[in-house]
Amino acid sequence: MTIDTGDADMCVVGGGVIGLTSAVALAEDGHRVRVFSRDAAGDTTSAVAGGLCWPYRIQPYDRAVQWSVRSFHVLAALAQHPEETGARMVTGTMAEATAGGRGAGHDPGDGADGDLAAWHDAVPGLRRASAEELPAGSASGWRARTPLVDMPAHLRYLEQRLTAAGGTVERREVTSLSEAGRSADVVVNCSGLGARELVPDPDVHPVQGQVVIVENPGIEEWYVSAGAGAAETTYVLPQPYGVVLGGTARENAWSREPDPAVAEAIVARAARRFPELARARVLAHKVGLRPARPAVRLAVERLPGGVPCIHNYGHGGAGVTVAWGCADEVLRKVRTLREGDGPRGG
C-alpha cells in the first residue's frame, strides 16, 4: 500500500513534545495534520521536564546521540528568540555522580557506547571540567553550553507553530489506534506512557521524576550529577520561572503525588552544590512520569485495515533532547511509505 503525495492526512496521537514536534515537521512538509491529545500540552509529562538538552535515560544510546545532535542544532537556533520559543543557551556542568562513577550523559569521548563523538562535535566548547569546577566527590565531569528549554513556553510555541503551518490540536482521548486511522492516511503514535495500553506494549513503563521549583537566588548555570540507572539524581536548572531542582528516577512508580520527604532530600542535595538554595522560597512541587522502554520504538506497522502507523514512543528522560531527530525519522518513514511498503514491526 502506498499513500498519496505530500498532502496526505496525518493523525498524530499525543500532544507532548514528541507528538507536537513530529506534527510540526509533518505540517511544514505539506501534510494535513491533526493532533489528538487527551491533555492540554501544559498538563503533559513534557511540561514537568527540566528541559536540558542532553541524552539521558534513553536507549539505544548511539541512535539517541544522533537524534540529540539534530535537536541540539534546532534548539540552538531557536535560542536566538528565547521569549518566543522558550529555548536559551546556558553554560553548565555535567558531573560524575561519584568518584569513579558515570554521569548522566556518559562520556562523550568513550567509543564503547557507540558514536558519542557526534555529541562531542555538536556541542561547541564541550570540555573536561577542571578540579576547581567540580564538587567534592566527583572525579570528573564536563563543561558545556547547551540549550536549556522552558518547557511550558516551548510547548506553547510548538502549538502556535503547528497552527501556523495549518495543523490542528484536538483535545480528545484516543482509545484505539485503528479508530484514529479511520480518518487518516497515516497514524503517528506519540502516546508516550499511554502506549502501554493503546498499542498495547507492556515494555512501556514509568520512571517517576519529582522536582522542586524555587525562587532563583542568583544561579545562572545549570548543574547535573546523575549516575546511569540511579534512583536519586541532583540537578539544578535555572529557568525564567524559577530554579528546577531534581530529582528522582524511580522505575515503575506510578504516583503523581509529590512526597514531602523526597522534596526535602532534593533540596538538600542541590544545596550541597549551591548553599543559597537551602534558603530559597519553594514555588511548586511537581511529579512527572517519564515514558520509558528498553529501547525507543520508532518503526512502522500496519493497523487492521492496512493504515500505516509510525510508532514514536519510549523516549524516557530525553524527550526534548531527541524530539527533532525523531521527527526527522518520522518524515523519512512517511516518504518511504509514499514509494511503497515500508518496514514493519520494531
Does the structure show a pLDDT above 70 at 159? yes
Bridge partners (DSSP) of residue 242 are 239
In-domain check, residue 343: yes
At 215, the pLDDT band (50, 70, 90 cuts) reads: very high
Contacts of 23 (CB under 8 A, 6+ apart): 10, 12, 33, 35, 158, 162, 167, 188
DSSP 8-state secondary structure symbol assigned to residue 42:
G
Q: What's the CATH number where 315 sits?
A: 3.40.50.720
In-domain check, residue 174: yes
Q: Per-residue b/e over 30-47, b at no fewer than 16 CB within 10 Å?
A: ebbbbbbbbbebeebbbb
d(CA 14, CA 11): 10
Q: Per-residue b/e over 290-316, b at no fewer than 16 CB within 10 Å?
A: bbbbeebbbbbbebeeebbbbbbbbbb
Averaged pLDDT, 321-345: 84
Amino acid at 168: T
In-domain check, residue 228: no
Using a pLDDT cut of 90, give the percent of the chain over it.
Answer: 79
pLDDT of residue 118: 84
| Grid cell for residue 260 | 514531602
- The dihedral region occupied by 6, where left means phi > 0, alpha psi between -120 and 50, and beta the remainder, is alpha
Count Cβ atoms below 10 Å from residue 203 Cβ, excluding itself. 14
Range of the domain at 20: 1-51+150-204+293-346
* Selection from 338, 197, 179 nearest residue 254 by Cα: 197
DSSP 8-state secondary structure symbol assigned to residue 324:
H
- The dihedral region occupied by 255, where left means phi > 0, alpha psi between -120 and 50, and beta the remainder, is beta
Does the structure show a pLDDT above 70 at 102? no
In-domain check, residue 222: no
101 vs 266: which has the higher pLDDT: 266
Q: How many domains does the chain have?
A: 1
d(CA 176, CA 134): 50
Q: What share of the chain is helix, strand, coil (3-state, %, to 5)?
A: 35, 25, 40
| Grid cell for residue 140 | 570528573
172-196 pLDDT, tens digit per residue, is 999 999 989 988 999 999 999 999 9
5-55 pLDDT, tens digit per residue, is 345 699 999 999 999 999 999 999 999 999 999 999 989 999 999 999 998
In-domain check, residue 276: no
Does the structure show a pLDDT above 80 at 111? no
Does the structure show a pLDDT above 60 at 341? no
d(CA 267, CA 242): 14
In-domain check, residue 271: no
In-domain check, residue 216: no
Chain centroid to Cα 133, Å, comes to 27
268-294 pLDDT, tens digit per residue, is 999 999 999 999 999 999 999 999 999
Does the structure show a pLDDT above 90 at 139? no
Let me know: does 56 contact 317? Beta carbons within 8 Å.
yes
In-domain check, residue 156: yes
For residue 289, report the phi and psi dihedrals to the nearest 5 degrees: -110, 105
The pTM of the full predicted model, rounded to 2 decimals, is: 0.92
pLDDT of residue 8: 65
